[in-house]
Each structure stands twice: as structure tokens, then as C-alpha cells.
């Protein structure tokens, strides 16, 4: 079954990363940051997967919420640690959602 998701004009932040090996302490910090993100104003959801690459997509009500999270103090510290210790590279895409839908199996 397909249905439209009420996410139009909300924001998605796509964070794609490649870790250095080893990346000691990374998993713990990633978990902490996800928990912290959930408490921010305007937070709508987060999804993560990691194979060779890691992809984390967080969803936000508006641009202001994205900006506030980027500049949140603990998050800034984590970003600095990430750059010095954990990430080989990362890319960030800040996007405005124009259309969203989902399918759920009826099996």
C-alpha cells in the first residue's frame, strides 16, 4: 500500500561518511549524538545505515531547526572530534523535501 507522507517543505540532512580505521569511540559518540538530536526543537526523525559508507538522514521541520542543530554546543564538539579523529571524509547535503511517500507490504 502506498501513502503520501506529510513531509512536504520539511528538511532532510543527508550525512554520508567514510570512517578511518580504526575509529575508536566513534560508535558511542554517534549514539550520543542521535539521542541528543532527538531532543532538539524541530527534530522529526533519523535513519542510519553503514556498510562501506555510512549514511545518516535526519529530518527537521525547517531550516532554522537544521541550523540550530548544526550549532548546538555538544554537537560542535563532536564535529571537531569527528574531523580530527574519525572521518576520512564526509559530505553533507541539506535538502528541502518536495515529495514523500511510503509503501507498506500487506503480507
Interface ranges with its own copies (CB under 8 A): 5, 7, 12, 14, 16, 20, 47-55, 57, 63, 83, 87-105, 107
- Least distance CB 59 / its own copies (angstroms): 8
What the block records as the C-alpha cell of 5 is: 507522507
Pick the closer one to its own copies by CB: 39 or 103. 103
- Least distance CB 103 / its own copies (angstroms): 5
User: Could you check whether the bond before residue 83 is cis, i.e. omega within 30 degrees of 0?
Assistant: no
Q: 57, 15, 60, 14: which is closest to 41 by C-alpha?
A: 60
- Least distance CB 33 / its own copies (angstroms): 16
**34: phi then psi, degrees, rounded to nearest 5:** -65, -40
Pick the closer one to its own copies by CB: 43 or 87. 87
* H/E stretch holding 18: strand 11-19
Amino acid at each position: 500500500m502506498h501513502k503520501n507522507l506529510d513531509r512536504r517543505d520539511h528538511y532532510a540532512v543527508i550525512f554520508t561518511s567514510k570512517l578511518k580505521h580504526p575509529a575508536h569511540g566513534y560508535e558511542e559518540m554517534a549514539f550520543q549524538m542521535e539521542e541528543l538530536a532527538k531532543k532538539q526543537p524541530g527534530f522529526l526523525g533519523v535513519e542510519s545505515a553503514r556498510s562501506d559508507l555510512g549514511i545518516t538522514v535526519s529530518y527537521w521541520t525547517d531550516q532554522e531547526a537544521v541550523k540550530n542543530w548544526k550549532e548546538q554546543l555538544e554537537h560542535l564538539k563532536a564535529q571537531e572530534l569527528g574531523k580530527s579523529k574519525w572521518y576520512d571524509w564526509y559530505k553533507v547535503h541539506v535538502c528541502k523535501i518536495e515529495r514523500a511517500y511510503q509503501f507498506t507490504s500487506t503480507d
